[in-house]
Structure 1
Amino acid sequence: MKALKIIGIVLLTLVVILGIAVVLQPSQAHIEKSIVIDAPAEAIFPEVSQFKNFTAWSPWSKMDPEVKQTFEGEPGTVGSKMNWDGPKTGQGSQVIEAIDENKSVKCSLTFGGYDGKFYSEFILAPEGNGTKVTWTYDGANDGFGAKAMWLVMGSMMKGQYEEGLMDLKKLVEAKPAVEPIPADSTVQTQ
């Protein structure tokens, strides 16, 4: 009987600690991860602004190879959309809301079974001889359930963002460098 009482107290303590951890989660979720890529923004921008290119380095494409994706609209423009449906990633969509060529791409995200909109943004800024790429996520954690989900999903997403940025870096840096054409060059014809 004494052992059951101790087990009960331990379980109750764990539930209380977990409840406190959930309540202390932020009401506004935010992730921000960055990496410096040894390439100009012009070489990186197509990879973050065109959804078909995004799937080549996205951590979720690797996590769920059976995902079915569809694309709508003109690639790399405001309003272009990617829908996904996969056994591990679930259903959702991503739409480009704002774009500033070679500087930033902001997308709204919807996830099947969750109300509200969430946002993701890529920000490209010169850093040394390369480009610093910052990938952000923002969304509301409304209510106990959303905060409980964030307790688990937040740390998992941070790791996925880091993995995706590392794969983006490998992809871009493996491509041959494109030499810019000097402004004063002339075309010679024979």
Structure 2
Amino acid sequence: MSTYSVTRSALIPAPAKDVFPLVNNFREWTKWSPWEAVDPALNRTYSGPESGVGAKYAWNGNRKAGAGNMEIIGSQEPENVNIRLEFTKPFPAVNPTTFTFVPEGTGTRVTWTMTGEHKGIGKVFGLFMNMDKMVGGDFEKGLASLGAAAASPKA
């Protein structure tokens, strides 16, 4: 079995108490997620509690956005958020995803990690596609946007 892990980390110039809610509530992801803009007509559905354990988000979009769902399965404020990420299109996959928030100076070190395994068609795909190269840049963009969202004045 072939497994992979993609991790990126960034120092966000805001306290964890300001960054954590942007990840712990899927409705806030429109402010920073690198994938929210790939399909302007993206269909989003939220269910469960607004934030924390049990919060759910499903999306269905164009070929680039694909389809899938996420559920927060662990949430410890303001230290970490654990998400069960499931893609249904273009390739079915379940990717455990974790965000950790560690105070560093006057900011917060946010680390975003996604793990998975190459199975079925994904295994063949994994032979010539490097998941770190494929997704790592998106994580970097997302963390930069997360920093901007955390630093912007609250409405």
TM-score of the two chains, using structure 1 as the length reference: 0.73
Aligned partner letter, 2:35:
W
Aligned partner of residue 138 in structure 2, secondary structure: helix
After superposition, give the CA deviation of every residue in 1:39-69 in whole Å (9 maximum; x if it has no partner).
Answer: 1100001101000001221111022222110
Q: Which has the higher strand share?
A: 2
Question: Within the alignment, does 1:160 sit opposite 2:135 as a pair?
Answer: no
Greater gyration radius: 1
Instruction: Give the corresponding residue for 1:31.
Output: 6
Q: CA deviation at 1:115?
A: 4.3
Structure number with greater CO (CA < 8 Å, separation at least 6) is 2
Partner of 2:34: 59
Q: Give 1:109 shift.
A: 1.1
Indicate whether 1:44 and 2:19 are aligned: yes
The answer as to 2:94 corresponding to 1:117 is: yes
Counterpart-to-counterpart distance in 1, 2:52 and 2:148:
25
Q: Equivalents in 1 of 2:65, 2:36: separation in Å?
A: 9
Aligned partner of 1:127 among 104, 122, 141: 104
Distance 2:107 2:43 in 1: 34
Aligned-residue offset at 1:153: 6.2
RMSD: 1.7
SS at match of 2:37: helix
Q: Distance in 1 between matches of 2:125 and 2:34?
A: 19
User: Are 1:89 and 2:55 counterparts?
Assistant: no
Structure 2 residue runs without a partner (length 5+): none
2:115 paired with 1:146: no
What CA distance in whole angstroms lies between the structure 1 residues aligned with 2:130 and 2:151?
A: 30
Partner Cα separation in structure 1 for residue 124 and residue 39 of structure 2: 24
| Separation in structure 2 between the aligned mates of residue 90 and residue 115 of structure 1, nearest angstrom | 10
* 3-state SS, counterpart of residue 67 of structure 2: strand
Identity in percent: 34
Letter in 2 for 1:168: L
SS in 1 for 2:139: helix
Q: How far, CA to CA, are the matches of 2:39 and 2:124 in structure 1? A: 24
- How much has 1:76 moved relative to structure 2? 1.4
Letter in 2 for 1:166: A
Greater CA deviation, 56-65 or 79-88?
A: 56-65
Please state if 1:171 is matched with 2:132.
Answer: no
- Letter of the 2:151 counterpart: E
